[in-house]
Amino acid sequence: MSRKGQTILVTGGAGYIGAFTVLELLNADFEVVVIDNLTNAYQASDKKKPECLLRVEELTQKHVAFHSVDITNRKELTSIFQQYKFDNVIHFAALKAVGESVAKPLEYYRVNVSGTIVLLEVMREHGVYRMIYSSSATVYGLPDKLPLTEDMKTGDCTNPYGKSKFMVEEILKDLCVSDKVWSITSLRYFNPVGAHPSGNIGEDPNGIPNNLMPYIAQVAVGKREKLSVYGSDYNTPDGTGVRDYIHVIDLAVGHLQAISHQHPSGFQVYNLGTGRGYSVLEVIRAFKDASGKDIPYDIVDRRPGDIATSYADASRANAELDWHATRNIDDMCKDTWRWQQKNPDGYKNVSSPFCPDACSIKSK
């Protein structure tokens, strides 16, 4: 089947990674339906879609169907599957802050685990058996060695967010073993950062950012006074945590490659990362070079659930998905800074003039 004839359901498609993946799907001639409960997305009261999707439509000059739906609501979800015939599901919808998950474990298990079960049940009821799952490097927990490879032990997770992703992967594995009709690919992300080169779409966290790059950007633009660096006594070259940062566009393209190379059946897993780790202080220096701004920071205590170092071996994705990360830390910082300068208050800054009411995607 050609991409032109395929309709993809994207859960959580108004989130940061979701919006970029929707953009790449539209550019590749897929038809896209997005559901999102708008927990992490801005929608103006006079608009029918979240601002990020309006901007995606403006950039692609294509339409995306949007429905405000929570994946834990079986009735709402069923109604979407009754309206459209889906060829595949890309499942992003989840709560995703490590620190918050420690404070609110029940909420994370309800949304991330129970919500996924509801989605899988509704998919089965409507004969949809293909999924690309948004997983995380946190499933590896405390690594015995680096870089992280897909065949390494998972499950020794240090926080409820990571545990929820591990639990869902186990459910997906069992499901694929139970019935060969299922084909599910789990993509284990490392640390997505960056923005679109146009500066029109990027990461827009609600409230205080939980992740390093958007916090640095808000300090650089003057929205926040200084950065807190959580821990300087890790066993790393400069004592600060080391992570594998991947440009969000490279990550989004990985989902298209996963669809193009999806196995006929079974459970497959791939790391999506660059294979290169950067410390917090290295990222601060790179952002200072990109922005020309000083980034004041304080060293504070470690956060619960954090580990010292994490970076990927992405050779399996390179070989089997024909996927490669092509953008480096300088690209990530420059694109983030362009987005932050253009949108100091995120998507609340300016509403897109491109707001089509009609959607080109046909219902069943």
Residue 351 within a domain: no
Q: What digits encode the pLDDT tens for the residues 175-190? A: 999 999 999 999 999 9
Residue 353 within a domain: no
Label each residue of the chain as H, E or C: CCHHHCEEEEECCCCHHHHHHHHHHHHCCCEEEEEECCCCCCCCCCCCCCHHHHHHHHHHCCCCEEEECCCCCHHHHHHHHHHCCCCEEEECCCCCCHHHHHHCHHHHHHHHHHHHHHHHHHHHHCCCCEEEEEEEHHHHCCCCCCCECCCCCCCCCCCHHHHHHHHHHHHHHHHHHHCCCCEEEEEEECEEECCCCCCCCCCCCCCCCCCHHHHHHHHHCCCCCCEEEECCCCCCCCCCCEECEEEHHHHHHHHHHHHHCCCCCEEEEEEECCCCCEEHHHHHHHHHHHHCCCCCEEEECCCCCCCCEECECCHHHHHHCCCCCCCCHHHHHHHHHHHHHHCCCHHHCCCCCCCCCCCCCCCC
The mean pLDDT of the chain is 94
Residue 349 within a domain: no
Residue 1 within a domain: no
Percentage of the chain beyond pLDDT 70 is: 95
234 classed as catalytic: no
Q: For residue 67, what is the domain's CATH number?
A: 3.40.50.720
Residue 311 within a domain: yes
Among candidate residues 16, 108, 140, 161, the one labeled active-site is 161
Residue 150 within a domain: yes
The predicted model scores a pTM of 0.94
Residue 362 within a domain: no
Residue 359 within a domain: no
Q: Check pLDDT > 70 for residue 4.
A: no
Q: How many domains does the chain have?
A: 1
Where in the sequence is the domain holding 207, given as residue range(s)?
7-342
